[in-house]
Structure 1
Amino acid sequence: MDSADIDRFEAGRGRLASLAYRLLGSAADAEDAVQDTFLRWQAADRAQVEVPEAWLTKVATNLCLDRLRSAQARHERAAGAWLPEPLLEGDPMLGPADTFEQRESVSLAVLTLLERLSPVERAVHVLREVFSYPHAEIAAILDITESASQQHAHRARRRVVAERRGGTDVDPASARRIVEEFLSAATSGRTERLVAMLTADATLVSDGAGLAKRLLRYDTPERVAAVLRAGFRPTPAKRRLAGGSPALHTALVNGSPAVVAVVEGRVVGTVVFEVSDGKVASLRGIAAPARLTRLDETWRRHEPDAPVVPAW
């Protein structure tokens, strides 16, 4: 390829990566999909490609659909061991963030909801709601009819809206306040303080630091508060598992308030909050090292505020 062909691809790399991340919920898989798209671009008869952006979008989208349909992906998701990969605020893979809908589309809550859609519904929803593609172009990308695209979009939007509990935009100052209040309540030894911060239908999902075969799920404010209080009680065993005594920072992860646990500059876990009407509606704890690779890499280039808890 000449430099112009490479430049055409690189000009769209960020958009392709953010599209792939929304479709796959995994930064590592999204990077692989973008690299495979580049290889297809390299091998293509580029003189016959009239609109490179449309061609690249079609290839990347369909590569993502192939991954979603693969036996490995179906097994992982069906086994109940899957959570979206968390990304730190400012990561370019989060993509467009001009509207609330675009920002919400990368929240862990919405990425989890998208798992309940079929691969085609998920692709139509993302292309339409996030990237504002008209149905005629979506139909061409997915090799379906325009009416089918409209039907998929309607079904997907109806399901997402019906099951979405209504998150809110959170700025860094608000995120820090929420996390500080949470950590104070979690370490106070009084579950009633935590219960007061939770919605009536609050939930907690954890990957068990990657040690559990299935996700650990808890509901009811009392049960969630009890698990959180126990989980945030430091013990020698937990410190050994983390590789030291973590500093607990606040951050925005996928646009939501989060606790980020860091040992000697290395991210060892995060708890991401979904806030609704001033209370915590859900929490997702992620500590499996394989799910923290990109968050850790981004954190090392990040200049965080002073930790809320310098040594846990």
Structure 2
Amino acid sequence: MGSDIGSTLVYLKLTSSGLRDPAGFVYMPCLKFMHLEEVIWDTHLDTVISGCPVLEELTLLRDPHDKYKALLVRTQSLKRFRLLPLRKGYVRSRVKCTLEIDTPGLEYMSLGDDHIDSIVVKNLTSLLVVELDIKFVAGFAVHFDTWNLTKRSEIISDFLNGISSVRHMIIISAKTVQAFDHYSKAGMIPKFNNLSCLQAVFRSYLLQFLPAFLECCPNLKHLLLVVHSGKMDEGLKLTDVPRCVSSTLECVEIQEKLELEEGKMKATSYFLGNSAVLKKLILSPTAYDPRDVLESEIWEKVNKLKKRSPGCEIIIRAMEED
């Protein structure tokens, strides 16, 4: 890269290319946005980042043939970081890799790569939003064993504690919730005391874990719950009532194709019956299909549910027709 271009460049995107460091150092004093996809490195990532003193946003999609065993993201200026998942067709990278993030100014972090061997976070004192789409394990079809608390478990625990000050958490994959379920059995989930907004995808059979998960969010105010279709246990009993449900939760939105079976209404009944300060409960666009169920039938069923917060507004939205 020519010195004149590098000295004025603000945005850089490299895709399916090589990145060399002929002088042992890359200096781009004005670069604020860097997007790297499947770049074959001839230098370490931290060498590049250290030459970008005002870098604010970094998006990274690793090349599965990358030879380096460590990705170091250490900078004072970075505000947004995204790690994209490997492209479809790759089960995992050829080399086990550790991602280390040491960014005291980071406000937004999105992690979508299942094949990083471990993630180490440090000094995330400014973190506002974290988006997770990871299983917390490397490789394919690897399951967490609560009876075998190895070094990997300690790394995962350190990671969760490292992001525990976040205010808004987005879990866009049910596999991440499933991992939380596993790790909670070993007492590895910390309290997210600053968390006020949570968006999470649950498979129907994981709803039994919902109260335990919410127990880790004592000051939660807004919850968006996306329930993936699947068989729900008709014997499901949501009996435990964590602090946030009883005293802080103000708005709950449930995205699910609600039908008339009793089991499908239990999540709705749980929040209406236990949330003392709930102001709004929304059954959002996937709540029901007007071609199959009349809106009046849904209203009739919901209105029969016990409501602890008398001022709670219930909103039912039909699925948009194609």
Q: Same fold (TM over 0.5)?
A: no
In which range does the TM-score fall when normalised by the shorter chain? under 0.3
TM-score (normalised: structure 1): 0.19
Q: Give the number of the structure whose residues are more often helix, by fraction.
A: 1
Higher RCO (C-alpha under 8 Å, 6+ residues apart): 1
Q: Give the number of the structure whose residues are more often strand, by fraction.
A: 2
